[in-house]
Structure 1
Amino acid sequence: MLGFVLSFAVIAVADGNRCLKDVDIGPCDAIVPRYYFNQDTGSCTSFNYGGCGGNDNNFETFEKCNTLCGEGVCDQPADMGPCEAAMPRFYYSQETGTCERFIYGGCQGNGNNFETSDDCLKRCGGGKSKKYKLFC
């Protein structure tokens, strides 16, 4: 049981920065259609995943990628999620135009969830939210 809890915590911690990572197809040779958030274009882009390894900027559907990383992420409210962990995180506040601390429960929530204030500022900017044009 402890192993499950520890592995769940590692996955949950990785979730906050997944949109900031470069695409990583992994070391295997399969061809699995996936999507990643491309910071250069500000959109979710298709790629062929190798089937193993890689990182968590890897989504099965465009919709999942767009929900967590696409346009409007910085407009979403802080969302603790339904779980009960107490993980300090940062979210971009439209009200104040800055990145503010909140407590993340460890699961679900939304894409406006960053491990560090710097990561939050990289994605959402200071003083105004970065707006990205999405391409289908």
Structure 2
Amino acid sequence: MKFLATVCLIFALFFEVLGFKNSVCNQEPRGYVDTYIICAGYMPRFTYYAESNSCQEYIYNGCFEICGLPHSGNGDGKRSCMGFFPSWSYNSDKNECIEFIYGGCGGNDNRFGSKEICEDKCLE
């Protein structure tokens, strides 16, 4: 009985990993604001508070509110984000992980923090 349960668990994990690879690794990387904003930055910044006459640190996530974003200038209504996050994405045509700069907004799950993680999740 334990053997059968182990076999079922192995098959379930195999199909879970296979499903992840097919659903995530074949997405084209995106880095612009589409409909929703996904901001995942972690950038320490400082601001001045007049009340206390001091500078205090805060964490900036890489995105402004949608109305505060600068217009991209291309006339299509899309706006760019100001982040600069070196990231990795799987390229299914080349079967390799490639580096790109993520702006901090939009995007999809085909974005990894390192080449090693990308290769671990996506390479055959």
TM-score by length of 2: 0.44
Which of the pair has more CA radius of gyration? 2
TM-score by length of 1: 0.41
